[in-house]
Amino acid sequence: MFSYIDPSVVDLLLREKALRHVDRRGRDLTAGGGEQPYLSILGPVPMPIGLEGGGEATFQWHAFVRHSEYDLIGEVAERVRRDERRDLVPLLSTFMQVSSILTHGDFAGAEAPLVRVHSCCMTSDVFGSRRCECGPQLHESFRRIVAEGVGAVIYMSSHEGRGIGLWAKAVTYLLQDMGQDTYEANTALGLPEDSRDFSDAAVILHALRPDRPVARLLTNNPLKEEDLRRGGIQVSELLPLVVGFSDHNRRYMAAKRSKGHRIPPGALDPGSPGAPDPEPSDDEER
């Protein structure tokens, strides 16, 4: 738990260049210079990932967090060590919103690699829920990146429920079951329809590709493109990610399309390429 904040370990990581601090343009500030760091980055860590449908591929994992949170959690850890405040220990594992980028192939040298900026979705990514299409999008992103030979998935950990968190997301699911759509449910709680910020994805791309701020973006969401462009990333191509539609999420997907998501006409129809195969009948299962 303390490996990233214990001073002796931090010194080791800095010497090995496994810990870096960068500014808002992704420029390395580890050697100092007086400018305030924006992101702290750990890695790379080789990570073999199982692919949907079989097989595996090795990605390089970097974890990154805003430097202000990195410093604050360090202060909490110091209080735990100095004052033996064991009641503060849970904060060390829950406070920081650590996001990730997993790269494959020659990501730094590629001309315009595939990039998926993916918002955390525990219900679909982990539980396999079909109330949304997030899990299938994540798996398909890994598959397409491996098929192409180079690319990255940027996993934004603080984006659960379009930024409202898992508890509030559970409430919105209940409200959706009472008749509200996914956006109406957010606003019924006095929360924004979408409070996500993708600017940190641009910073990490600058940090790992300082000479080539170009990407081909796997997304249906125009907000991701806007935030990357605003952060200085050239989006040379937008590639739709039309997977995971089902009878369980057609209303949800229709609401997203009404808010500007680029979902092709007919994609929500039963039997469309984005929909899963029909469930087998009892006879077929036997």
Instruction: List, by residue number, the catalytic residues.
Output: 194, 196
The DSSP letter of residue 28 is B
What is the SS3 assignment for 154-220? EEECCCHHHHCCHHHHHHHHHHHHCCCCHHHHHHHCCCCCCCCCCHHHHHHHHHHCCCCCEEEEECC
Alpha carbons 134 and 245: distance in angstroms, whole number:
10
Alpha carbons 229 and 202: distance in angstroms, whole number:
8
- Count of all residues that appear for the chain in the document: 286
The three-class DSSP label of residue 148 is helix
User: Which two tokens mark 256?
Assistant: 């997203």
Phi/psi for 205 (5° steps) reads -65, -40
